[in-house]
Amino acid sequence: MKRSLRSWLWRIPIDQEVDEELALHIEMRTRELVDRGMEPKAAREAAIARFGDLARLKRTMTDLGRKRDREMRLTIWLEDLRDDLKFAFRQLKSSPAFTLVATLTLALGIGANSAIFALVDATLLRPLPYRTPDRLVTIWEQSAKTARGYVSPLNMLDWNTRSRTFEKIAGFTPSVGQMVMPGADGNSETISRQWVTAGIFGVVFGHSTDWIGLLCLVALVGAGQALALEVDDGSISVSAVGSIAGAALFDVRAALPIAVTIAAVEWSARRSPFHYVVFNIGTLTLSSLAAAAVFTAGFGGDLGKVVFVAAGVAAGATYFAVNMSLLSGVVAIEGHERWSAVFRERFAWLATHYLVYGFIGGVIWIGYETAHVWALAVFAVPLLLMRKTQEAYLRHTQRSAQKLRAAAETIQTQNVSLEQANRLLKERSTAAMQSLSATVDARDAYTAGHSRRVQQLALAIGRELGLSQAELDLLGHAALFHDIGKLAIPDAILLKPASLTADEWELMQRHADEGARIIDRLGFLNDAVPAIRHHHERFDGTGYPDGLKGEEIPLGARIIHVADALDSMLTTRIYRAARPASEALEELRRAAGTQFCPRCVAALERILPIEGIDDEDKRPRVLVAS
Amino acid sequence: MDKQLELLQGTLDMLILKAASLGPLHGYGILLRIQQISKDRLEIQQGSLYPALYRLERRGWVEAEWGTSELGRRAKLYRLTDAGREQLAAEMLTWKRFAAGVSKVLFST
């Protein structure tokens, strides 16, 4: 509606549109000024004057209006086109049966057209009325006397049976006199006469369609289709070779018989619905016609066999394109999928097959020239064998796939049980290690529960520093086992109530390294090893065993170092008494940056009150009081 | 308010869209409408009104059809299209932000 109004607007020439619009404006302005008490003439002049250069304005507007109309016309044309296409597509989509009928009609229409064109081409367009003027020659007998002598009839018969150069030989004489014949209308006519041998018309006008060859080909295609290989969603057959060869040998004449044969065999094998059969006939016909068009498009002839085989490959590609496009289209419509997706996923992979089919089709044509129907047999045998191989291969592949699937399932279940076993093993080992660390603590009455407390403290600091759960797990293990190396320290040193000698101190220091080695040998806590080995490193680099400095020291080790120091300061040791919490914290703060990591100390300070209240029984009483 | 303000560059389109959004109007009507709403504070160059209308029509923001004017003459009546409505909304938002920003700078204490 809107559009029709707009198109009506267009019919006014743009100059008129501009004129009328401006005239109205001026008139209304004049009227307004007159109402205000102006003289009509003066009012009109004033109204016009307000536009300034009226002529220029008109030019500008006309120009803009022209541009506008041009663009609108294009837009509307495009919109109409799009709407029409959309509508057509929707129509086709909503009624597949109609689509199929339309396709079929199209196929038959094109088929009929080609047939008519073939007729017109043969009768009107070709330079000579002979079927194959380029293969027609005249033969003479040569003797000492004559260059072009007559041929003896018996010689001709001999040549005809023995010659391999010529397909067929027929004889004729020059004019042997004239004859007066009475016409049907009563007038007589003089006719010149010639004698010819029986086969002359076959030779000059070419033999009519080679029905035997066509029949053989159709039979072969039928057999090929009957032996089609069933796969998940459809069938694979080599019958396309026959279709392409048919297009090469018999032009458009083979298209329909072959299409009908394939569709019929397909129907008898799968009992597909009627409209499928009709659709199959349509697409196969169209595909064959397209292939035939490629063959007849000026190949063959003088260009030789190589070109013809190349044309075969091209025909294969064409056959593939037409056939698969139509198939994809129907599958897409039925499944409400995108055409391109269907083509890509389900049909594109067949492209190479069809190129090969086309090649074989071309070669069959060459073989047919010399061996006639035997050429079909020569090619049929390998094709059928190939199909056998395909079948065996497919069966084998399916079996392999089944085996693989079963194997994958077994592996899956085994994996699960392996995982369970692994977890169990880890849990058990951790439990064992916990009791081991408790044993270490128990050797020294003063350090009872130390490892557990250090673990709790370290975890609290780690949480405050924002470590991930995995990092916290690791930190927990490392903290629990940080002193496990003391197993290797003799009681005499470990429990000595006085200061240690230099040698003894050196031995004592080895517990960090020893502990790391014990855990390392354990195998499943390797990631905790660095934190254990370095838990006595000092922030300024003067610690042991490696004298690491600052951020070089693993964070876990720094945390454990702080936690360890705090706990030992808060508990009575064999070599000194416990200190009050405020003093211990003061000490840590003082040594932050030299002995301890400042970040870890700061984190500890932030959490102490909270943690202290939370874990009353695990923390010495003094801490709770602070 | 005797003095009429010259329009800022680029604001005419916006005003036309606004006026056309109030219903089908011919060119002169649009002019009157703008002056009326602005209480005659805005001066519109009549020479630029029609080219602007043609440009907007070309961009598809207004569309025109022939109707009848108050005087009984054939008149080209403009109305806003959906695209024009969107454009107007966008320009109004931009203008609001722009004006707010400028005022903030100019009248800050």
What would the pLDDT profile of A177-229 be if each residue is shown by its tens digit? 888 888 777 788 888 888 888 777 777 766 556 778 888 888 888 888 887 77
What would the pLDDT profile of A555-580 be if each residue is shown by its tens digit? 999 999 999 988 888 877 666 667 77
What's the burial of A194, exposed, middle or buried (CB within 10 Å: 0-12/13-18/19+)?
exposed
Q: Tell me the percentage of chain A whose pLDDT exceeds 70.
A: 89
3-state SS record for A470-516: HHHHHHHHHHHCCCHHHHHCCHHHHCCCCCCCHHHHHHHHHHHHHHH
Decide if B72 touches A, using CB distance below 8 A. no
What would the pLDDT profile of A474-523 be if each residue is shown by its tens digit? 898 899 888 888 888 888 888 777 778 888 888 888 888 888 888 888 77
pLDDT of A623 higher than 50: no
pLDDT of A626 higher than 60: no
Q: A88 to chain B nearest CA, in Å?
A: 27
Quote the DSSP letter at residue A365. Answer: H
Q: Tell me the percentage of chain A whose pLDDT exceeds 90.
A: 6
Q: B95 to chain A nearest CA, in Å?
A: 27
> How many residues are listed for chain B in this entry?
109
User: Quick check: A21 and B65 CB within 8 A?
Assistant: no
Q: Tell me which residue has tokens 């030789």.
A: A304
Neighbours of A100 (CB within 10 A): 21
A158: confidence class by pLDDT, cuts 50, 70, 90: confident
**Distance of CA B30 to CAs A49, A249, B98, Å?**
19, 77, 25
CA dist., res. A487 & res. A433, Å (int): 12
CA dist., res. A360 & res. B72, Å (int): 81
Decide if B52 touches A, using CB distance below 8 A. no
3-state helix, strand, coil in chain A (%, to 5): 75, 5, 25
Hey, what are A362's tokens? 């071309």
Q: Which residues of chain B have pLDDT under 50?
A: 1-2
Please say whether the beta carbons of A277 and A263 come within 8 A: yes
Quote the DSSP letter at residue B61. Answer: S
Segment holding A65, helix H or strand E: helix A54-94
Decide if B27 touches A, using CB distance below 8 A. yes
**Distance of CA A281 to CAs A213, A236, A249, A287, A524, Å?**
21, 17, 20, 10, 70
Q: B21 to chain A nearest CA, in Å?
A: 17
Nearest CA in chain B to A1: B65
What phi, psi does B108 have (nearest 5°)?
-70, 145
* Mutant choice from A2, A10, A11, A24 vs B, greatest count of B C-beta within 10 A: A24
- Cis geometry, peptide bond prior to residue A545 (ω within 30 degrees of 0): yes
Rounded to 10 degrees, what is the CA torsion of A271, A272, A276, A277?
A: -10
* Mutant choice from B13, B28, B59 vs A, greatest count of A C-beta within 10 A: B28
Which residue among B55, B58, B76 sits closest to A17, beta carbon to beta carbon? Answer: B76
pLDDT for the residue numbered A209: 60
Instruction: Please name which of A161, A224, A206 lies closest in space to residue A357, comparing C-alpha atoms.
Output: A224
CA dist., res. B69 & res. B63, Å (int): 17
User: Quick check: B46 and A67 CB within 8 A?
Assistant: no
User: Which residues have CB under 8 Å from A578's CB, separation 6+?
Assistant: A569, A570, A571, A572, A620, A622
* Mutant choice from B46, B63, B69, B77 vs A, greatest count of A C-beta within 10 A: B46
Nearest CA in chain B to A61: B51
**Distance of CA A62 to CAs A7, A18, A21, A621, B79, Å?**
17, 7, 11, 98, 20
Sign, CA dihedral A340-A345-A346-A348, equals positive
User: Quick check: B57 and A50 CB within 8 A?
Assistant: no
Instruction: Please name which of A243, A608, A620, A312 lies closest in space to residue A461, comparing C-alpha atoms.
Output: A608
Decide if B40 touches A, using CB distance below 8 A. no
Terminal Cα distance for chain A, rounded: 88
Q: Tell me which residue has tokens 């702080």.
A: A562
User: Quick check: B65 and A52 CB within 8 A?
Assistant: no
Decide if B26 touches A, using CB distance below 8 A. yes
Largest CA distance in chain B: 56
What would the pLDDT profile of A317-332 be if each residue is shown by its tens digit? 999 999 889 888 888 8
What would the pLDDT profile of A330-367 be if each residue is shown by its tens digit? 888 887 888 888 888 878 888 888 888 888 888 888 88
What's the burial of A108, exposed, middle or buried (CB within 10 Å: 0-12/13-18/19+)?
middle
What phi, psi does A575 have (nearest 5°)?
-100, -5
Q: Report strand pairing: B62-68 vs B74-80.
A: antiparallel
> How many residues are listed for chain A in this entry?
626
Which residues in chain B have Cβ-Cβ distances shorter than 8 Å to A5? 65
Largest CA distance in chain A: 158
pLDDT for the residue numbered A11: 60
What ipTM is given for this predicted complex?
Answer: 0.85
Q: A44 to chain B nearest CA, in Å?
A: 15
Q: B104 to chain A nearest CA, in Å?
A: 37
Chains A, B: CB pairs < 8 Å:
66
Decide if B76 touches A, using CB distance below 8 A. yes
Mean pLDDT score, A446-455: 81
* Cβ burial A43-78 (10 Å sphere, 16+ → b, else e): bbeebeeebeeeeebbebbbebbeebbeebeeeeee
User: Quick check: A61 and B71 CB within 8 A?
Assistant: no
Q: B89 to chain A nearest CA, in Å?
A: 23
pLDDT of A611 higher than 60: no
* Mutant choice from B50, B56, B59, B78 vs A, greatest count of A C-beta within 10 A: B50
